[in-house]
């Protein structure tokens, strides 16, 4: 009777599915931040690997994850469904959780076998994580979400990842405060809890998506190709800056706490302040338009200014260091939410091809993270492997926010200039878009 009406391309998802997605992203982010914030430190300090070997192992895993994500996205097409995505993300996260748990057993093995075991286990972890990551990230643009659409679910994603970062930051404090013989066991206990939460939350999302078995259908393009491509290039550029430069602030914090500040609690306070800033900005970020360039420029200005201030005064006052970390978290969180929301809005006109676009964005992030990991371990190596010597870790930590902030300012200016140049011919012809 209603056959003449076209079916909606994207299914309307209830609030329960949104909660399941946020929970699953929190669980996945726990795995991610364990690999990002704790793994390099555990490999250098507990497993006894030198900084270059540990950094190369992490970088190789990230590059493999990028390649696996692109390969996994090739399986997506018009015949896939949300239920299939739910199953895919659960399988990937389950295998990644198991691999990560085994990876943190390496410090308990004989020293001669540790490097080989790290390589053997870190690569499957990254490959499996990529499969679950692509599936979860692709869901961002494969449904009509009940709260502010792509902007709302992007904000909830970053709230989940921010809470995960807070949790791992607190766990790092526990590891640093443990006596050296018990520290590997403390780290293993943390990872066991993380893996369990990741498994359960991924299963929750799989169950929530089980009824949505309808295959995705392609949609006609409504945005000019050239305009969409230019905007997507901007999201890729900001993502590269956020992943290559900004992590120096969080990844070097444990080393600075251990070698210069001398207080494990300082490290946890800094990391938790940064993560809480990322969470706190999201309710506001969900209300801001994604095409507002002053927002990107403002985030860049805050990052550059606070990064410089942090480098000049790190270690002088805990409350001041934490406040600056909180501000940098807010600025970085706003820029991160902009990337995911803008990319989802641009690519949701082609739902069946959305996974490939997400995989490319994720691969860009992971390649940038790999480059950033190499940069970080080079800094550590120059500092005699422990952040000591002639390398000033406070400035090294702050270099990331300063470079990232400056890059965001330049991108906002370049995009604003491009938009003004594109509007001039339209205005002359009387075809300027209405405000």
> In the predicted model, is pLDDT for residue 414 greater than 50?
yes
Instruction: Evaluate whether residue 259 is within a structural domain.
Output: yes
- The C-alpha R_g of the chain, in whole angstroms, comes to 22
Instruction: Evaluate whether residue 433 is within a structural domain.
Output: no
- What pairs with residue 144 in β-bridges? 12
Instruction: Evaluate whether residue 431 is within a structural domain.
Output: no
Average pLDDT (16-26) is 91
**Which stretch of DSSP H or E encloses residue 46?**
none
Q: What tokens were used for 308?
A: 């410089």
Phi/psi at 12 (nearest 5 deg)?
-80, 125
pLDDT in tens, 298-321: 899 999 999 999 888 766 788 888
CATH at 389? 1.20.1250.20
Instruction: Evaluate whether residue 428 is within a structural domain.
Output: no
pLDDT in tens, 238-295: 899 998 888 888 888 877 777 655 566 788 888 889 989 988 988 887 777 766 677 8
pLDDT for position 206 = 94
Instruction: Evaluate whether residue 422 is within a structural domain.
Output: no
Instruction: Evaluate whether residue 326 is within a structural domain.
Output: yes
Helices 15-33 + 183-209 axis angle, to 10 = 150
Instruction: Evaluate whether residue 251 is within a structural domain.
Output: yes
DSSP 288-336: S-TT-HHHHHHHHHHHHHHHHHHHHHTTS-HHHHHHHHHHHHHHHHHHH
pLDDT in tens, 75-106: 665 557 788 888 989 999 999 999 888 887 87
**Domain boundaries, position 293:** 15-211+224-413
Instruction: Evaluate whether residue 338 is within a structural domain.
Output: yes
pLDDT in tens, 188-241: 888 899 999 999 999 999 999 998 887 765 544 444 555 556 667 888 888 999
The tally of domains found in the chain comes to 1
Average pLDDT (162-167) is 85
Higher pLDDT residue, 56 or 354?
Answer: 56
**pTM value?**
0.73
């Amino acid at each position: 009777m209603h056959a003449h009406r076209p079916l909606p391309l994207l299914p309307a998802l209830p609030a329960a599915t949104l909660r399941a997605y946020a929970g699953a992203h929190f669980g996945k982010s726990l795995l991610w931040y364990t690999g990002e914030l704790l793994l390099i430190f555990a490999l250098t300090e507990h497993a006894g690997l030198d900084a270059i070997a540990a950094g190369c192992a992490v970088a190789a895993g990230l590059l493999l994850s990028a390649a696996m994500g692109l390969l996994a996205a090739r399986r997506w097409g018009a015949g896939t469904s949300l239920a299939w995505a739910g199953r895919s993300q659960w399988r990937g996260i389950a295998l990644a959780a198991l691999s990560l748990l085994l990876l943190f057993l390496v410090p308990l093995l004989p020293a001669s076998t540790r490097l080989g075991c790290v390589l053997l286990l870190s690569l499957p972890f990254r490959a499996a994580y990529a499969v679950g990551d692509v599936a979860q990230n692709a869901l961002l643009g494969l449904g009509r979400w009940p709260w502010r659409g792509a902007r709302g679910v992007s904000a909830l994603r970053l709230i989940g990842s921010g809470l995960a970062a807070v949790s791992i930051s607190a766990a790092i404090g526990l590891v640093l405060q443990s006596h050296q013989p018990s520290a590997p066991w403390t780290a293993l206990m943390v990872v066991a809890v993380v893996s369990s939460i990741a498994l359960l939350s991924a299963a929750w999302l799989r169950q929530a998506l089980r009824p949505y078995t309808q295959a995705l259908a392609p949609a006609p393009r409504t945005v000019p190709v050239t305009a969409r491509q230019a905007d997507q290039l901007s999201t890729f550029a900001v993502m590269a800056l956020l992943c290559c430069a900004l992590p120096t602030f969080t990844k070097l914090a444990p080393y600075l706490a251990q070698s210069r500040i001398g207080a494990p609690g300082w490290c946890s306070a800094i990391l938790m302040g940064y993560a809480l800033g990322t969470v706190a900005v999201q309710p506001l970020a969900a209300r801001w338009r994604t095409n507002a360039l002053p927002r990107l420029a403002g985030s860049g200005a805050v990052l550059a200014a606070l990064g410089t201030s942090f480098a000049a005064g790190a270690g002088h006052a805990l409350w001041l260091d934490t406040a600056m970390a909180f501000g940098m978290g807010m600025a970085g969180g706003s820029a991160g939410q902009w990337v995911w929301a803008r990319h989802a809005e641009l690519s949701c006109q082609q739902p069946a091809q959305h996974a490939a676009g997400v995989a490319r964005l994720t691969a860009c992030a992971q390649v940038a993270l790999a480059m950033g990991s190499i940069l970080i371990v080079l800094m550590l190596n120059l500092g005699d492997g422990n952040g000591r010597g002639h390398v000033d870790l406070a400035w090294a930590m702050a270099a990331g926010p300063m470079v990232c902030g400056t890059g965001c300012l330049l991108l906002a200016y370049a995009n604003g200039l491009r938009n003004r140049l594109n509007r001039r011919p339209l205005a002359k012809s009387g075809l300027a878009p209405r405000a």
